[in-house]
Amino acid sequence: MAPSPVQQVLAALAPMLGERISRNDSIRTQHSHGEGWMRASLPEAVLFAHTTQEVSAILARCHAHRVPVVPFGAGTSLEGHVTPPPGAVSINLSHMTRILQVNPDDLDCRVEAGVTRQALNAQLRDMGLFFPVDPGGEATIGGMCATRASGTAAVRYGTMRENVMGLRAVMADGRIVDTGGRVRKSATGYDLTGLLVGSEGTLGIITEIQLRLHGIPETMAAAVCQFPTLGDAVRTAVAIMQMGIPIGRLELMDDVQMDACIQYSRLEGYRKLTTLFFEFQGSPASVREQVQIVEELAGDNGGLGFAWSESQEERTRLWKARHAAYWAGLAYRPGCQPLATDAIVPISALTELMIGVKEDIRRSGLCAPIVGHVGDGNFHTLILVPPEDGAYARALDLDRRIVRRALALGGSCSGEHGIGSGKMEFMQAEHGAPALDVMRAIRHALDPRNILNPGKLLPPVLD
């Protein structure tokens, strides 16, 4: 029998990769899924690449034999991005962990795709610098680029869109492309960097990234305030943003999430009420000015017991509940599986959306704590799905209701988790058929054989 396309690819790559080609079941299983709830599917093999040249050689072979490829970093995807389609190989980039350069004078650096944000920040700390995009998990910078990640610090520093200056990427046929550069702005041609950021492995495989860095602020302060109602808390957050206060972080936890956290972290001094968590950054004078304005705004909206501190220890204590939110949510309903939603709206619509979502949750009968990056208009409901028939369908139904509410209010179905396979059904409603056609034309132009993470991001054309 003739060797299959995958067998031909692996045979051709064996001299280069040797034992870094794995067909081991447990390795394949690790690469069969991210952290989301999508059906897992094994890759035919996992290839551990150590250099851009190796990724190029792998793609050239896969292109020649029409073998689909899925890039894999830390596997923290929530929307099925890394689940292989049938007959695919997974390319693991997590060994590409070199920090290639740090330019403190220009506030930028260059890293390989497998560097995690934690590893990068550990290296930068002594230089007084940091990379601000913080999606929570121990993600790789390459994966964060591919999904256009953001997180709790985006309210001040922006997302990967604003913090990636340039990329090296391998195209479908193996060509290596450098995009962008090291300047703060440029008006020279199409923004290929911006096109690849958020492309979820469908236009090219990102292997190196030039990142914008920031100086560690001179002063930081944290604050917490509880509110009688969800609406009071959201209105406070909206007022802060509308006043243009350069707040460092602005997070919300609803009453259910607070209940979970009080139990999980044995918090004292907190009530089961919607709570805002603040971080302030800047010079000592500007931090105090910000704290004072925010305290007044919170008071105007019914805030109860605004507490703040500049000391590191006290800041950690104040934010303790927020840091443990995910685990507290899981422990709140033992045996349940989490399904995270990711809606975002213009900030003026946030109060209406969140009040509506609370009602949707109540009607669903499911337990679903809310954690919000409310400064961005973005929040997650962590739907806790019980192990019973029909519960997953009810959770998906709740997710769809939330997305429909967000879209009706001029919002988006994903602030930061991306599309993968999990959110494809909403793409047409959010962007319209003409924009999807343009996206498809670009994808087809850059990957005519449809080998780059096929079946993700763009829904099939409906006849």
CB of 36 to a second copy, least distance (A): 14
Joined together, the tokens standing for residue 325 give 């939110």
Binding flag, residue 73, a second copy (CB under 8 A): no
Q: Considering only residues 394-433, where is the footprint of a second copy by CB under 8 A?
A: 410-419, 423, 426-427, 430-432
Give the nearer residue to a second copy in terms of CB position, either 98 or 214.
214
Selected from 5, 35, 442, 450, the binder of a second copy by CB under 8 A is 442
Query: Contacting a second copy (CB under 8 A), which of 434, 460, 462, 463?
Result: 434
Contacts of 228 (CB under 8 A, 6+ apart): 273, 302, 304
Provide, rounded to whole angstroms, the least separation between the CB of residue 220 and a second copy: 14
Does 294 interact with a second copy (rule: CB under 8 A)?
no
Site residue total, a second copy (CB under 8 A):
91
Per rule CB under 8 A, is residue 147 in the interface with a second copy?
Answer: yes
Binding characters for a second copy, 189-228, by CB under 8 A (x = yes) = xxxx-xx-xxx---x----------xx-------------
Angle at 207 between CA 90 and CA 214, to 5 degrees: 130
Phi, psi of 72 (to 5 degrees): -140, 130
Please answer whether residues 170 and 69 qualify as being in contact, where contact means their C-beta atoms are separated by less than 8 angstroms. Answer: no
C-alpha to C-alpha distance for 142 and 205, rounded to whole angstroms: 9
Token representation of residue 103: 């330019």
Q: Which stretch binds a second copy (CB under 8 A): 58-66, 102-110, 262-270, 361-369?
A: 102-110
In degrees to the nearest 10, what's the CA dihedral of 109, 112, 114, 120?
-20
449 binds a second copy (CB under 8 A): no
Alpha carbons 455 and 463: distance in angstroms, whole number: 17
**Is residue 316 near a second copy by the rule CB under 8 A?**
no
Taking alpha carbons only, the member of 177, 197, 181 closest to residue 59 is 177
How far CA 173 is from CA of 18, 56, 351, 450, in Å, comes to 22, 8, 47, 11
**Site for a second copy (CB under 8 A): which residue of 13, 154, 250, 354?**
154
175 binds a second copy (CB under 8 A): yes
How many residues can be counted in the chain? 463
Q: Does 111 bind a second copy (CB under 8 A)?
A: no
Q: What's the first-to-final CA gap in the chain, in angstroms?
A: 37
Window of 112-120, 158-166, 255-263, 379-387 that interacts with a second copy by CB under 8 A: 158-166
Give, as ranges, the residues between 334 and 363 that touch a second copy (CB under 8 A).
342, 344-348
Decide: 142 and 206 in contact? Cβ < 8 Å.
Answer: yes
Contact between 452 and a second copy by CB under 8 A: the answer reads no
Q: Which residue has the tokens 């409310």?
A: 374
Whichever of 206 and 457 has its CB closer to a second copy, that residue is 457
Q: Looking at 126, 188, 313, 460, which residue binds a second copy (CB under 8 A)?
A: 188
